Amino acid sequence: MAGEIKEFERKWGMVIDLDKCTGCGACVMSCQAENNVAPQDDATNKLRAHTWLFIYRLSNGKQYPEHSTVYLPRPCMQCGKPTCVEVCPVIATEKGEDGGIVSQVTPRCIGCRYCMASCPYHARYFNWFDPHWPGDLAEALSPDVSTRPRGVVEKCTFCHHRWMLAKDKAIANNEDPLAIAESEYQTSCAETCPNGAIYFGDLKNPDHKVHQLSQSPFAFRLLERLGTEPQVYYLSKREWVRRLGDNYLDDEKTGQPLRKL
């Protein structure tokens, strides 16, 4: 009954170079504007704040001056074997067959939050209240992503709407919609990052940057031992950062290259 790891022709994935992230939050700002995430009066309670893309500050656990810090942006991992999809009672979320993006159909969602309880990455967010755009902020709503009412779960979709729009653009220009260039479909966070820390593309397409990067000896994924097979890879040349990507017993070695494509 446990979900199988699904393989598709395309596999949209992300590679985040942690050695280049300054934690500035430009990606988070872009994400919100792109996806019509409603603002909140107070977002200091991070357990109630909608951050489809959340930036963690990691520590190597040592004292000053040996201490080292790294910022880790965490979008939805778009797991190959998602914890959330199997558990949804109403099929409001599914592993998309067109690139393996885990969708969230908010009009179907009944808000039981079982998917949130299942996700070890906390990538899912519940609309505790109705969204509110004070003043004229609703004027800035993008037509590409629907607004969500209270009582439903939402999450990062790898800006799936951009993929749909890119395909339509290709059709309108008599091009093959399934053979678009890497640059035609980029997530909002990836294109925004001033440091170029976020790469996005088809993990299976050798022409795409993420394909090679995901096979780097410095690549790792979060909580890989759970078997979720995330489609988001992280890169760091620092061993302690890679080790923080998963739970290890003290006597276990880490830092081995991961090749699981």
Per CB under 8 A, which of residues 181..220 are in contact with other proteins? 188, 191-196, 199, 212-213, 216
Q: How far is the CB of 1 from other proteins (least distance, A)?
A: 7
Q: Does 4 bind other proteins (CB under 8 A)?
A: no
Structure tokens at 166: 């890119």
Q: Does 101 bind other proteins (CB under 8 A)?
A: yes
Q: How far is the CB of 207 from other proteins (least distance, A)?
A: 15
Residues of span 157-176 touching other proteins by CB under 8 A? 157, 160-161, 164-173
Q: Does 113 bind other proteins (CB under 8 A)?
A: yes
One of 150, 181, 217, 257 touching other proteins (CB under 8 A): 150
H-assigned helices in the chain: 26-34, 83-87, 114-118, 160-172, 188-192, 209-213, 239-243
Q: How far is the CB of 58 from other proteins (least distance, A)?
A: 5
Backbone dihedral angles phi then psi of residue 24, each to the nearest 5 degrees? -70, -30
Give CA–CA dist 240/245, Å, rounded: 9
One of 2, 179, 206, 253 touching other proteins (CB under 8 A): 2
Q: How many residues sit close enough to other proteins to count as binding (CB under 8 A)?
A: 148
Please give the C-alpha separations between residue 190 and each of 120, 155, 201, in angstroms, as whole numbers. Answer: 23, 17, 10
One of 14, 109, 156, 258 touching other proteins (CB under 8 A): 109
Q: Does 156 bind other proteins (CB under 8 A)?
A: no
Q: Does 227 bind other proteins (CB under 8 A)?
A: yes
When the beta carbons of 164 and 205 are compared against other proteins, the nearer one is 164
The overall longest dimension of the chain from CA atoms, in Å, is 59
When the beta carbons of 125 and 258 are compared against other proteins, the nearer one is 125
DSSP 160-186: HHHHHHHHHHHHHTT--GGG--GGGS-
Residues of span 70-99 touching other proteins by CB under 8 A? 70-72, 83, 86-91, 93-94, 96-98
Q: Which of 261, 192, 258, 208 is CA-nearest to residue 231?
A: 261
Question: Tokens 């093959």 correspond to what residue?
Answer: 176
Residues of span 9-68 touching other proteins by CB under 8 A? 15, 17, 19-26, 28-30, 32-34, 36-37, 39-51, 55-59, 62-65, 67-68
Count of CB atoms situated within 10 Å of the CB of 17: 21
